[in-house]
Amino acid sequence: MIYGATFKMFGDIGEANDIEKNFISVLSALENLKNGSKPSSQLLSSVIEKCRDYLRSKKDTVPIDEIAEILSSLKRVTSASDTKYYSISQNDIPHKVRLCIYEGLIINNSSLYAPVVVNSNLVGILSVEGLETDERNILIVQEYTKIIARTIKQSQTLKDAVGLYDAFRVLYEEINSLNSIDIDELTGNLIKSIHRIFPEAIGGFIYVQKLFSFGLKPDEKILSLARKTAKPSVYNSFVIIPLKKEGWFVAIKGRPNDRQLWMLEIICNYAGEMFVNAQMYKDMKELAMYDGLTGLYNRRFFMTNIRNEIKRHKRQNKPMSVLLMDMDHFKKINDTYGHPAGDIVLRTVADIIKHTARTTDICGRYGGEEFAVILTETHLKQALDVAEKIRRNVMNTEIPVDNDVKLKITLSIGVSMYRMEQQASELLRRTDQLLYRAKENGRNRVFGDSPNDLFKE
């Protein structure tokens, strides 16, 4: 791979200076990113400054001038009348010189034509004319081909270094963009990073908890393979890169080159670590916000929401109402059918409440078998209508708790509307009193702020 070969880069040139050593340190740090380890920001910012000007200047160092000096030196040492270097890509190579491509070293009267080889590849031909073709001069010419080869290799290596520096700079910027604990935001940023690193990508999918598609519809065969793959692989023109957690992956349609694939692997490995952290944060947040049995907001978070809604009401002067609900005779269910049956009833009633209320309303589990709903921007009459709808939906639902047992449950509901300058505790206390009055008046009914707001079956 590119990064592996680069560690030997400066060894080919000579002893590395401090800046070159820093650059090698960055390459090592980038390789560590494949295991999810992020380099320190101090190292990154330090190297990005030190490497930029150095590598940019070296990139512009074309070996032509150095080769010209080498040819002059060879001319003096051998007393040749003429020395030239022909790049293999040139079109104006004389025929007698071009034969060297096929035959290797050519000795022709007072002329020598020697191949210049870099990494086993023929890159040029050294032409020396007007000299004695004795053994000494032949050895000298061959040594000079090696000097020219090293010069060319040094120039190419430094150009490669600049290319890798550019890759590092992009990775550094994209890695910083992935610092989020929100899975949706993280996914969007990863898609942007993929397009920047591999602009030729036709599209693809990211799977982290759910499938995010960018530009393509999911292919079931690829999805099935991607969920099982443990290392980067190519299938049907897709590059599949697993993320940190089993079953999470990125699938990109297209054929990235070696450097693009290397960068994509690093980004995806680092993103995988971020996704794991985001998942942990989401799980912890849900534990803090939601009731584990019903999936509604827990009492603590419900109380936070009602205080926030009261503040919003005071700012915007918009109505707000609250429902408090209690399941009638719930203790009998637990005593008769057991707590697992009671849990089924609680979950079912919670689902009915959540799906009857609007998406803007805030539903919570207030106590053991008590539920609460904050109806935002809702007057008392509308709140009473919602409460009655919930009561009827619950009453008309048969809840299977065992193979042969289906239960019908009823709710008693108290409804009140927020009054200016009330505290949350005062609002809930009044609503609870209305709930208690609904219980006293026979249960399975809605009781509102006024005795006229009584619904009963």
How many Å is the Cα radius of gyration of the chain?
38
Q: List the single range of 246-250, 408-412, 435-439 with lowest mean pLDDT.
A: 246-250
Torsion (CA) 437, 441, 442, 447 in degrees, nearest 10 = -50
If pLDDT is split at 50, 70 and 90, which confidence band does 82 have? very high
CA atoms within 13 A on the CB side of 265: 21
**Could you tell me which residues come within 8 angstroms of residue 24 by beta carbon, excluding any fewer than 6 positions away?**
6, 7, 9, 10, 16
pLDDT in tens, 2-56: 344 344 444 444 444 554 555 556 556 555 554 555 555 554 555 455 555 555 5
Instruction: Provide the pLDDT confidence category of residue 72 given band limits of 50, 70 and 90.
Output: very high
Residue 51: which H helix or E strand, with range?
A: helix 41-59
Q: Which candidate in 143, 369, 398, 421 is catalytic?
A: 369
Query: Rounded mean pLDDT of 334-344?
Result: 92
CA distance to 324, 361, 385, 386, 440, per residue, from 414 (Å) = 5, 16, 12, 12, 12
- CA–CA distance, 272 with 277 (Å, rounded to integer): 9
Which DSSP string corresponds to 372-431?
EEEEET--HHHHHHHHHHHHHHHHT-EEE-SSS-EEE--EEEEEEE--TT--HHHHHHHH
- Top mean pLDDT of 19-33, 125-139, 305-319 is at 125-139
HSE toward the beta carbon, residue 21, CA cutoff 13 A: 4
Distances in Å between the alpha carbon of 154 and those of 111, 114, 147, 376? 28, 20, 11, 71
Task: Check pLDDT > 80 for residue 454.
Answer: no
Q: What three-state secondary structure class fits 91?
A: coil
Asked if residue 166 has pLDDT above 90, the reply is no
Examine the residue annotation and report whether 369 is marked as an active-site residue of this protein: yes
Least confident of 130-139, 163-172, 287-296: 163-172
Phi/psi-derived region of residue 14, left when phi > 0, alpha when psi is between -120 and 50, beta in every other case: left
Burial of 95 (0-12, 13-18, 19+ CB in 10 A): exposed
Furthest-apart CA atoms within the chain: distance in Å: 124
pLDDT over 90 (residue 393): yes
Q: Do 281 and 181 touch, CB atoms closer than 8 A?
A: yes
